[in-house]
């Protein structure tokens, strides 16, 4: 039904952009009460954008950049985060989110995503895939950062249920963001009776990680999990391996704890690799990421 309506509207468009714009405005009114009104009006709005001249589009973009409440609140909040005043930052965001109507929410025909790089979009399409038509959220609407930062601040104030809700909204926008998944791991480390969810989300983050800090954090998480499972040899291997990506006092402390329990931490590189592989844990960056980066680099070089 939706596609038939859109095809019919498109078929009635002509060469005159002014007439097209008036016709499309009338169609918005016509379908305002339709069961698919949200989806139809969004598509008509895209058609109306095409009716604008280049000058009108530029003017609209300039106005949008000046009037950007999400960007404004994030800039304001970041100042408090930088000085460690999380309480003030959270107060600001709490107030903003109470009146925030939500934007770019999925409908019956489209799903909205935002990726920080072409690599992430390829990861999404390869490992997750889209159920509907994918539409990208404009770069000047940082919804992903809004939900991520809000979730982070809520977690810092022990408001775990709200933090999980906000971070899941961020994950829906970018399901392959390791930083978002790892932030959710911190909640599941605290709020679940077992560590199964913590483990599952950590291995998911590891699949998508390519920043050294994210990789190190994944291996530290897994090390913590195996301490809880009382598999101290594997835990020691994971903490040692994490330091290939980031030297961390946390990893040193955990290794000293493991040693205090009578487990040797003097492992060779071969022993570390063997212990990790024996636990069916990915070693290093996902090979698919490396392959994809080579392909992207080659493609850009040819261009």
Q: Report, as an integer, the average pLDDT of 203-231.
A: 97
CA distance 184 to 166: 10
pLDDT tens per residue, range 241-299: 999 999 999 999 999 999 999 999 999 999 999 999 999 999 999 999 999 999 999 99
Does residue 64 carry a pLDDT above 70? no
Does residue 148 carry a pLDDT above 70? yes
pLDDT at 3: 78
Report yes or no: 285 and 210 within 8 Å, Cβ to Cβ: yes
Q: What percent of the chain has pLDDT over 90?
A: 71
Q: Report, as an integer, the average pLDDT of 165-171.
A: 98
pTM for the model: 0.82
pLDDT at 63: 56
pLDDT tens per residue, range 68-80: 899 999 999 999 9
pLDDT tens per residue, range 110-146: 899 999 999 999 999 999 999 998 999 988 899 999 9
Q: Report, as an integer, the average pLDDT of 204-211.
A: 98
CA distance 76 to 158: 22
pLDDT at 111: 95
For the chain, the average pLDDT equals 91
DSSP string, 261-280: TT------HHHHHHHHHHTT
pLDDT tens per residue, range 47-57: 777 777 777 66
- Within the chain, strands assigned E span 110-113, 133-136
pLDDT at 57: 66
14 half-sphere exposure, CB direction, 13 A CA radius: 6
Q: List Cα–Cα distances, 201 to 204, 221, 249, in angstroms.
A: 5, 10, 23
Sorting pLDDT into bands at 50, 70 and 90, what band is 157? very high
**DSSP class of residue 143?**
H
Q: Which segment of 104-108, 167-171, 236-240 scores lowest on mean pLDDT?
A: 104-108
For the record, the structure tokens of 178 come out as 């390791």
Strand-pair partners of 110: 133
């Amino acid at each position: 039904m939706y596609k038939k309506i859109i095809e019919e509207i498109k078929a009635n468009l002509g060469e005159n952009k002014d007439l097209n714009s008036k016709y499309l405005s009338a169609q918005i009114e016509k379908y305002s009460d339709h069961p698919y009104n949200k989806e139809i009006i969004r598509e008509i709005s895209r058609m109306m954008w095409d009716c604008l001249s280049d000058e009108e589009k530029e003017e609209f973009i300039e106005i949008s950049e000046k009037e950007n409440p999400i960007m404004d609140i994030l800039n304001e909040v970041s100042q408090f985060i930088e000085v460690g005043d999380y309480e003030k930052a959270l107060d600001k965001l709490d107030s903003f989110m109470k009146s925030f109507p939500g934007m770019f929410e999925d409908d019956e025909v489209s799903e909205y995503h935002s990726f920080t790089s072409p690599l992430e979009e390829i990861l999404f399409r390869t490992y997750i895939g889209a159920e509907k038509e994918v539409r990208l959220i404009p770069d000047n609407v940082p919804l992903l950062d809004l939900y991520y930062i809000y979730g982070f601040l809520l977690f810092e104030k022990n408001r775990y249920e709200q933090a999980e809700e906000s971070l899941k909204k961020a994950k829906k926008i970018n399901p392959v963001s390791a930083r978002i998944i790892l932030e959710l791991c911190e909640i599941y480390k605290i709020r679940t009776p077992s560590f199964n969810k913590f483990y599952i989300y950590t291995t998911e983050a590891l699949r998508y990680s390519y920043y050294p800090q994210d990789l190190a954090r994944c291996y530290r998480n897994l090390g913590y999990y195996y301490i809880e499972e009382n598999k101290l040899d594997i835990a020691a291997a994971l903490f040692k391996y994490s330091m290939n990506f980031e030297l961390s006092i946390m990893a040193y402390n955990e290794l000293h704890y493991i040693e205090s329990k009578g487990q040797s931490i003097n492992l060779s590189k071969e022993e570390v690799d063997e212990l990790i592989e024996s636990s069916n844990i990915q070693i290093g960056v996902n090979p698919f990421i490396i392959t994809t980066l080579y392909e992207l680099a080659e493609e850009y070089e040819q261009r």
